[in-house]
Structure 1
Amino acid sequence: MPKAPNSAPLPHPTHAPSARDVKESYARGMAALQAGKLAEALEIFGAIHEANPRIAEVEFQIGRLFTAQDRTARALPHAAAAATLAPDQPVVWLSFAEAVALDGGAEPRKEFLRLVNGSRLSVAQKAALADRFGAGSKGTLPAGGAAVKQTLSRITALFNGGHFAEAEADAARLIAAQPDCAMAHSLRGSALAALGKPTEARKSWYSAVARAPDLVQALGALGLAALRDGTPAQAVRWLDRALPLAPDRVEVQRARGNALTALRQYEPAYEAFVDVAKLTKRKQALPLMMLAQAAAHLGRDEEAEAAYREALALEPANAQLLVAYGLFLQGLGRFAEAEVQILAAITAAPEIGESYRLYYASHKATPGEPMLAEMERRFADPATSEADRRAFGFAIAKALEDIKDYGRVFDHLDPANALMRKAKPYDITERERQVDALMQALDGMDWSQKIEGASDAAPIFVTGMPRSGTTLIEQIIASHSRVTGGGELADNTVSAMRLMPVAGGKIRPASLIPATDFVSLGQDYAAMMQARFPETPQITDKSIQTYLTMGLMKLAMPNAKFIVVRRDPRDTLLSIYKNVFPEGTHLYGYDQVDLARHYATFVRMIDFWRERVPGWFHEVQYEALVDDPEVQSRALIAACGLDWEEACLNFHANKRKVETLSVFQVRQPISKGSVKAWERYGDRLAPMIDRLRADGMIED
């Protein structure tokens, strides 16, 4: 049975704790639970469990707490133990059933039914619990007969008619009368979500799934909520449960494709959108757009463009579609065509700020542009939504910088970033804690060891802070005849971190990773690259957070090369602050102090590797590169183990697709124009610069 977290609230005795010790600790745990201090309660109960794992009440509480945190894999052994220790207690079995239902796994269901059938419960109680995973699993046969079905129909009609408050109130009344009616919980969740109460909605959907684990509406709703919350892995978990139950539900398959895309699992995402296109008989524009985006991620650009054009034939004035197609064309370097599409999107929906932001990302503004005045009018209009206002703010800041009106840039940039932070809260202390824990887990590893059976793949990893020049460096390397630029191919950092799972609140030390895990890591990565790029000798991978785990990747693939890009942090962080990143990424970037603190974690990590494996990576200083491109480029290519080719100096002529914020810059020759750009803004960058100085990241 997995151990619960242990914070040692009990003394560490040489003998079993007395009944009095256990009773007092249990009382403290219950007091913490009733006060809403769930983490404290879990640690107290966990310590009791460590001392004596056969107390039913403790196992029951641990199971409930893990279930409430949606950590059902941890909850199940404790819930099962509680049921075994107190086999005649219905409340214990109900809690166990809830954990099994929320987990959704076939084996936990099978084990639960085996145990409940052998329990001391009455025949009626056993039947009711078994029915939860049998005829009642889909929630289509609610107790209460025709009257309940009629009430559910009325609530559904209210919801569909937009009467969300009435629907929620009626659902709550039905739940009070019929607490096990899963459909009532699900409908209440949907009404709460429509009323802007996502936390309460999620609780209702959990309640629905706990009572009917195969209720498609609730499973789908939880998947969509997780996707909106920026937790795509959780979304896939719920949607994978919903899909076999309703394979013809377009919204489920579409959401699943979006979640897989967010996880960079592009092949299954593509298959999902193929199914969506089939289900809609290729008669809806947005599913075709999603299919086009998925094909583009897989490098199937001709197929992607055909799908975009097919979608535009259906909805030629769809702003979202026009922008998506424009971005695709930008990635191919077809900027003039891209501008036509994005301007058409602005014409179609002039109130949408994001179209302007994307337009000015590649368009250089000139004094007197009428769109600048229009954007400023909309930015100042109280009727403009916060989402559009922040997009207008970033667009205006870029346009003002283009026309060298530097004094007004931050009047729009600061509010835009503040709105981003409001929409996407972030706690930088969690990042600092994670890096500390990672370095502790990596320390003490024998980095000189040779892993027998390690992959002979030789990818070239380009890593560093965003906006530090990583795309430029990749473009130089990818201009070599032996190399294909892969872009941000896969989150190998996540793959490497799977070798170091968290247990008991701590990351497993790297020194405990079996050699076979390193072999699998390297071979899995090599197989993925071979499938994507079967005809190229080498690829670059610009998954920029590789610096966190590059030692692990090097052991898995000894022939791999690592390029670390460095740039004056004031320019790097200013560039991050001026940009909007893909959904859910680089959330530290919308606050100046958080930017500086994040940069400090990057430097600490690079220093960690430099101290332990100094010969394993090559550092490129951006300012040195733009000052002397040929000397630095030659050194870079040599560090990659390649012979020099003049094409590497003409990287801007490389026609490969680029899918980063630097899509426009890498099509231009090297310029010194962005060096010391931070000096234009004086005190407006004081919060960031003061923190960098305090952390020793810059010198005056």
Structure 2
Amino acid sequence: MANLSEAQLKQLYDQAMKLQAARRHEEALACYEQMIAANPRIAEVHYQVALIFTEAGRPARALPHLQAAAALRPAEPAIWRLWAAAVALIAEPEGEATFLAALKRSTLPPAVKLRLQDRFTPGHKYVPDVPPALRAEVRKVMPLMQAGRFAEAELLAASLLSRHPRSAAAANLLATAQARQGKIAAAVAAYGKAAALDPEDAEPLNNLGQVLMEAGRLTEALEAFRGAVIAAPCMGPALVNLAKAMQRSGKCAAALPYAERAARLDPNDPVPLVTLGNLHTLMRDFDTAESALRRALALAPARPDALALMGQALSRLGRDDEAMQHYDRALALLPDLPLAISGKAGLLQTLGRFDEAEPWFRRAFALDPANGEPYSTFLVSHKVRPGDPILDEMIARFDDPKTSDASRISFGFAIAKALEDLKDHDRVFPYLRAANDLTRKAHPYDIKLRHKRVAQLLRSMDSRDWPGAPVPGTSDAAPIFVTGMPRSGTTLVEQIIASHSTVTGAGEVNILADMAAKLLFPGREALAAADLPPDAIAGLGADYLAALHQRHPEAERLTDKSIQSYMYIGLIKLALPKARIVVVRRDPRDNLLSIYKNKFTDGTHLYSNNLRDLGEYYRSFHEVIEFWRARVPDWFYEVQYENLVANPEAETRKLIAACGLDWEDACLASHRNTRKVDTLSVFQVRQPISKSSLNAWQRYEAHLGEMFEALGDLLPEDGNAPA
């Protein structure tokens, strides 16, 4: 870029600062980047770029700019404080070590250097600067708090603060006394004052975050916990609280470093390990979740929440008897623990024991009526009849302004399902749209990321000559992969195959697709499939089979219903030449509507909450299938859902033959299969095959215009959908 004059640089800087003040960060960054390209030696520009990235929750992007700014202005405390904040928020040992080494060499005033160094010293506790006379008065409040006399404690703390209005300690005490009495607004104001009076004290910020999180003000709670972690990167409770708040906002992967750091700081504290177990369960890494929870239970064997979470992990690993034992142990210790009650209800539901599950669901409603999650899970297997009071209960909760967005989402999906059961179709879509809009607000998504990923994948795969030469050293194992769009009929197809006497249904294993993704995408860009060494491809199959055998050691042959497997059809067949792959297709109008009507696990299927994105996502699915059809059409077998339900016997016989299995009549009675089903189709697959779900889109045609537009030429010929 051509050099800019001093006047031009100043003009660009002023423009960037105005954009930054207006929170138009991308535009501001573009201005700063122009300045850096013209003159990379302006410390203030690097500092502002780092500030934007740190405040936007991308502290790793801030580090190179902070290092540059510190090199240019080594004695500027503000740069080092921001660097310390970024390192605290990254919560990784390497970044911390680099920062501390640079800090040691810096020319900062010794007092500033020592303060920053102390933040990262495990065991160091920040001591607020409280005058001795005030310290004695503060100590008088503590016995009142310990005795539960919070109203008296509030009066005494308020008196202290009126006489010492600059005392953060007095404001913190007042806030705590108010919080214990449920005076949320007053407590928030007092904690905020304490934090403003002493920004280096993490305790008021951590307390503020807890009050805000309990009040359902998650965004504000996150900011408070971030502030606490910046002030005290070695404060275990603040790290755990930040991890929990991020988990509630659906950012489980981003939450992991905080829980991991807390676990490293105190290996004898079970709380970070319980948090890690929950995070890994939500991320579907159940083996790691089990490991973390076993460590927690070794430290605290009678901890009910750890037992209940272990039940969740073991259930997802297919060890249902052990899971039930853990739920029962948790309930023996704490009979009204919602986590254990809803967990046990969900496990019974996946086992098809719907009548046994219902009382547990009802108990969960009674214990926590404002929580919509048990309702939405229950409605998956419960058909609402006229006069059922559950509908009015849910609508009242949905309309209650005190209901959290997370619960309103669950209630919205559940209400829509109940109204469909009652055939009150005109009232369904407003609840569906509200639930999906709230989900999108909580979990923003850019469909361009999907298009970019698919384009990278297909470029990678197109580099190889398919089918090409066989890979040496592969296994003769022949798992059966069932894949396709969610809600396309994959669960039904797996249930049919798993009804064969020689086949065990493993359900949504989600191992091979993850392994293939990591092999192809070690960084941001995909490797060329042609460059993958044969031993890496053979190792992919071997590693997958080892993981599968660990879960199902006695199984003769397994089905794996992992949705994303269709992305890697070529790799799967190279790594496991005898594997069979079944791709399930369904009329996209019914398929995508069914996705839109259902609540998925938080943080998954993020495209599903917007009708236009659904249509575009389906186009990308179609693109991948057509890619493989053009190259290896005989490497997979397609099932059309509509044909299957219209002609069950003929289509089932073709399916079983395509899987390389001998015919068995049991495959025509798949609804009698008692195996565990852990998907949204848990109820449907236990009913005889029917055509009742065909053409469901017609009831809501007036609402689906955006989806039809996105589908474009992929709309079936009978569907001249409105624009």
TM-score of the pair, normalised by structure 1: 0.83
d(CA) in 1 for partners of 2:289 and 2:12? 49
CA 1:344–1:77 in structure 2 vs 1: closer, same or farther (change >3 Å)?
closer
Q: 1:425 aligns with which of 437, 441, 453?
A: 441
d(CA) in 2 for partners of 1:662 and 1:440? 32
Matches within 5 A, 1:92-131: 92-131=79-118
- 5+ long unaligned stretches in structure 1: 1-9
SS across alignment from 1:120: coil
Farther off after superposition, 458-467 or 234-243:
458-467
Query: What amino acid is aligned across from residue 236 of structure 1 in structure 2?
Result: L
Query: What amino acid is aligned across from residue 89 of structure 1 in structure 2?
Result: E
Is 1:697 the counterpart of 2:715? The answer is yes
Q: 1:301 aligns with which of 320, 332, 336?
A: 320
Is 1:185 the counterpart of 2:201? The answer is no
Which residue is equivalent to 2:601?
582
The alpha-carbon deviation at position 235 of structure 1 amounts to 1.9
The alpha-carbon deviation at position 236 of structure 1 amounts to 1.8
SS across alignment from 2:441: coil
Which residue is equivalent to 2:127?
141
Query: What amino acid is aligned across from residue 215 of structure 1 in structure 2?
Result: M
The alpha-carbon deviation at position 348 of structure 1 amounts to 6.7
CA 1:72–1:640 in structure 2 vs 1: closer, same or farther (change >3 Å)?
farther
Matches within 5 A, 1:64-79: 64-79=51-66
Matches within 5 A, 1:620-659: 620-659=639-678
Which residue is equivalent to 1:670?
689
The alpha-carbon deviation at position 650 of structure 1 amounts to 3.7
Is 1:231 the counterpart of 2:251? The answer is yes
Matches within 5 A, 1:335-414: 335-343=354-362, 345=364, 355=374, 357-365=376-384, 368-371=386-389, 378=396, 385=403, 394-395=413-414, 397-398=416-417, 401-402=420-421, 406=423, 408-414=424-430
The alpha-carbon deviation at position 223 of structure 1 amounts to 0.4
Is 1:266 the counterpart of 2:266? The answer is no
SS across alignment from 1:673: coil
Farther off after superposition, 306-315 or 663-672:
306-315
Q: 1:167 aligns with which of 163, 187, 202?
A: 187
Query: What amino acid is aligned across from residue 644 of structure 2 in structure 1?
Result: L
Identity %: 40
Query: What amino acid is aligned across from residue 555 of structure 2 in structure 1?
Result: T
The alpha-carbon deviation at position 303 of structure 1 amounts to 1.5
The alpha-carbon deviation at position 199 of structure 1 amounts to 3.0
Query: What amino acid is aligned across from residue 185 of structure 1 in structure 2?
Result: L
d(CA) in 2 for partners of 1:356 and 1:31? 47
Which residue is equivalent to 1:289?
308
Which residue is equivalent to 1:541?
560
Q: 2:450 aligns with which of 394, 419, 434?
A: 434
d(CA) in 1 for partners of 2:439 and 2:683? 28
Contact 1:428-1:598 at 8 Å conserved across structures: no
Which residue is equivalent to 1:4?
none
Contact 2:314-2:320 at 8 Å conserved across structures: yes
Contact 1:186-1:208 at 8 Å conserved across structures: yes
User: Deviations along 1:29-54, whole A, 9 cap, x unmatched?
Assistant: 44443432222333444455567655
Farther off after superposition, 573-582 or 343-352:
343-352
Is 1:220 the counterpart of 2:240? The answer is yes
CA 1:355–1:229 in structure 2 vs 1: closer, same or farther (change >3 Å)?
closer
Contact 2:416-2:431 at 8 Å conserved across structures: no
SS across alignment from 2:681: coil
d(CA) in 1 for partners of 2:62 and 2:418? 53
Which residue is equivalent to 1:3?
none
SS across alignment from 2:200: coil
Which residue is equivalent to 1:467?
487
User: Deviations along 1:281-308, whole A, 9 cap, x unmatched?
Assistant: 5374x54332222221122211122233
d(CA) in 1 for partners of 2:596 and 2:194? 49
Contact 2:42-2:72 at 8 Å conserved across structures: yes
SS across alignment from 2:107: coil
- 5+ long unaligned stretches in structure 2: 136-166, 719-723
The alpha-carbon deviation at position 266 of structure 1 amounts to 0.9
What number of residue pairs does the alignment pair up?
Answer: 678
The alpha-carbon deviation at position 263 of structure 1 amounts to 0.8
Q: 2:464 aligns with which of 447, 452, 455?
A: 447
- The CA RMSD measured in Å over matched residues stands at 3.9
User: Deviations along 1:434-469, whole A, 9 cap, x unmatched?
Assistant: 224531453263232669677546543322222110
Contact 2:311-2:326 at 8 Å conserved across structures: yes
Query: What amino acid is aligned across from residue 409 of structure 1 in structure 2?
Result: H
Farther off after superposition, 32-41 or 513-522:
513-522
Query: What amino acid is aligned across from residue 572 of structure 1 in structure 2?
Result: N
Query: What amino acid is aligned across from residue 447 of structure 1 in structure 2?
Result: R
SS across alignment from 1:669: coil
The alpha-carbon deviation at position 229 of structure 1 amounts to 0.5
CA 1:472–1:507 in structure 2 vs 1: closer, same or farther (change >3 Å)?
same
CA 1:479–1:155 in structure 2 vs 1: closer, same or farther (change >3 Å)?
same
Is 1:415 the counterpart of 2:431? The answer is yes
Query: What amino acid is aligned across from residue 39 of structure 1 in structure 2?
Result: E
d(CA) in 1 for partners of 2:502 and 2:30? 55
Which residue is equivalent to 2:496?
476
User: Deviations along 1:36-84, whole A, 9 cap, x unmatched?
Assistant: 2222333444455567655544443443333333333333333223323
Is 1:36 the counterpart of 2:23? The answer is yes
CA 1:108–1:236 in structure 2 vs 1: closer, same or farther (change >3 Å)?
closer
The alpha-carbon deviation at position 262 of structure 1 amounts to 0.8
SS across alignment from 2:592: helix
The alpha-carbon deviation at position 250 of structure 1 amounts to 5.4
d(CA) in 1 for partners of 2:335 and 2:221? 36
Farther off after superposition, 315-324 or 652-661:
315-324
Is 1:687 the counterpart of 2:673? The answer is no
Which residue is equivalent to 2:50?
63
Farther off after superposition, 652-661 or 144-153:
144-153
d(CA) in 2 for partners of 1:183 and 1:384? 27
The alpha-carbon deviation at position 219 of structure 1 amounts to 0.9
Contact 2:315-2:323 at 8 Å conserved across structures: yes
Which residue is equivalent to 1:7?
none
Query: What amino acid is aligned across from residue 584 of structure 2 in structure 1?
Result: V
CA 1:428–1:184 in structure 2 vs 1: closer, same or farther (change >3 Å)?
closer
TM-score of the pair, normalised by structure 2: 0.81
The alpha-carbon deviation at position 103 of structure 1 amounts to 2.1
Which residue is equivalent to 2:586?
567
d(CA) in 2 for partners of 1:25 and 1:497? 42
d(CA) in 2 for partners of 1:600 and 1:325? 39
CA 1:675–1:79 in structure 2 vs 1: closer, same or farther (change >3 Å)?
same
Farther off after superposition, 351-360 or 220-229:
351-360
Farther off after superposition, 662-671 or 341-350:
341-350
Contact 2:450-2:617 at 8 Å conserved across structures: no
Farther off after superposition, 528-537 or 562-571:
528-537
The alpha-carbon deviation at position 475 of structure 1 amounts to 1.7
The alpha-carbon deviation at position 662 of structure 1 amounts to 1.2
The alpha-carbon deviation at position 420 of structure 1 amounts to 4.5
User: Deviations along 1:215-235, whole A, 9 cap, x unmatched?
Assistant: 123211210111100111112
The alpha-carbon deviation at position 120 of structure 1 amounts to 2.6
Which residue is equivalent to 2:119?
132
